Chains A and B, each alone.
Chain A
Amino acid sequence: MEIIQIAGFLGSGKTTAILSITKRLMEKGYKVSIIVNEIGDIAIDGKVMEVSGIKVKEVLGGCICCELAINLSQTIKIIMDEYKPDIVIIEPTGLASPSQIRESINMLNKVNFKPIITLVDIQLMDEFLNDEQIRGIITRQIKDADVLAINKIDVVEDKLLLSYEQILKSLNPSAKLVKISALKNIGIDELITFLGV
């Protein structure tokens, strides 16, 4: 079973990207299920995913990168037993540390980890990086990524895009860069290619 983690700060477009990716993977014949994590007790995204006919498990009331790490392992095992998907996509909270999530489930048997994708909201990147409390979270998510997906490219100018590409490359020189618009379905196939599925 393959595990894909799609990380990114609050509002970066994780749910929209996951829906696009999942639809493509299902069209290719893969059986996909999704784990959605919310630190709060209220889940909204899972409801919308289920409407699309996707099998979703929600982990609520904490973050799977830290205090609910054990719950994540258990949830993956339950999904493996009950649903036997080919691929599980994890949507962490917008505050999560992607590398900590991978570490917490590294011990699981019969799973293969695909590259960590971190989505970056290009439209609000400046504001996030200028915010003292948010900068550290975003920077860690960028540094943890194997693939950096610059999202919302349809609403920014090419000049701005180029300057942010340089910033991202300086923060994580080894990550692959892909430009997408999850909402407009731009770049999703290229992103899936980077996942190797």
Chain B
Amino acid sequence: MNEDHHNFRFLGQTIKITFKNRVSKSMLEIMFLKIMDKISRMYDFARLKLIFECENGYMKADSITIAGKNQFNIESNLSDKVKSGELTFSIVMKRDLDNNHSKHFLNTNSYIRKIIEETLYHYDLPNI
């Protein structure tokens, strides 16, 4: 492996989600924005990708955060409300513990999963 690749960490996970009620595309978008916003405040550098896939289609979002600047993009081919699906995230971070909050860095997968679940709960969309 190239030496500079070691300066980065690559994580990700898939979470099965069944919403309590059917959820609109705009609500899913708000949830994605909230997740990206929380991640951008957490890390000095982070490349985040999220995709929610269900039988109606998908919603994909990605963001990049560096030194307090943040860019994001969301796209979707969903045409209807969704009830359940799979949410997959992947994140690339720098290994530099001084610039990334170590307490969150140690178990990032669990932490991001927690952010997702808290965000769902916040919008009254609990994962049942």
- Shortest A119–chain B CB gap in Å is 13
> For residues 38 through 79 of chain A, which have their beta carbon under 8 Å from a beta carbon of chain B?
38-45, 47-48, 51, 62-63, 65-67
> For residues 45 through 90 of chain B, which have their beta carbon under 8 Å from a beta carbon of chain A?
45, 47, 49-51, 53, 57-58, 60, 62-64, 66-67, 69, 71, 73, 75, 77, 88-90
The contact of A42 among B13, B47, B73, by CB within 8 Å, is B13
Taking CB atoms, residues of chain B closer than 8 Å to A44 are: 49-51, 60, 62, 88, 90
Interface stretch among B1-9, B20-28, B114-122?
A: B1-9
- Shortest A94–chain B CB gap in Å is 7
Q: Is B12 an interface residue when CB atoms closer than 8 A count as contact? A: yes
Q: Is A173 an interface residue when CB atoms closer than 8 A count as contact? A: no
Taking CB atoms, residues of chain A closer than 8 Å to B63 are: 11
Once bound together, how far apart are the Cα atoms of A51 and B58, in whole Å?
Answer: 9
Taking CB atoms, residues of chain A closer than 8 Å to B64 are: 10-11, 121, 124
Q: Taking CB as reference atom, which chain A residue is nearest B70?
A: A124
Q: Is B37 an interface residue when CB atoms closer than 8 A count as contact? A: no
Interface size (A, Cβ < 8 Å)?
Answer: 35
Given contacts A40-B90, A128-B66, contact A45 B4 (CB under 8 A): no
Assess whether A137 is in contact with B51, with CB atoms less than 8 Å apart. no
Size category of the B interface is 35 or more
Once bound together, how far apart are the Cα atoms of A121 and B125, in whole Å?
Answer: 35
Q: Taking CB as reference atom, which chain B residue is nearest A68?
A: B1
Q: Is B30 an interface residue when CB atoms closer than 8 A count as contact? A: no
Assess whether B69 is in contact with A124, with CB atoms less than 8 Å apart. yes
Q: Is B33 an interface residue when CB atoms closer than 8 A count as contact? A: no
Q: Taking CB as reference atom, which chain A residue is nearest B77?
A: A51
Interface residues of A (CB under 8 A from B): 10-11, 16, 38-45, 47-48, 51, 62-63, 65-67, 94-95, 97, 100, 121, 123-124, 127-128, 130-131, 133-134, 136-137, 183
* A-B interface, 6 closest residue pairs, ranked by CB to CB distance from nearest: A42-B12, A40-B10, A11-B64, A42-B90, A10-B47, A44-B49
- 16 further A-B contacts with Cβ under 8 Å, apart from A42-B14, A45-B49, are A44-B50, A44-B51, A47-B60, A63-B1, A65-B2, A66-B1, A97-B2, A121-B71, A124-B66, A124-B69, A124-B71, A127-B67, A128-B66, A131-B67, A134-B45, A137-B4
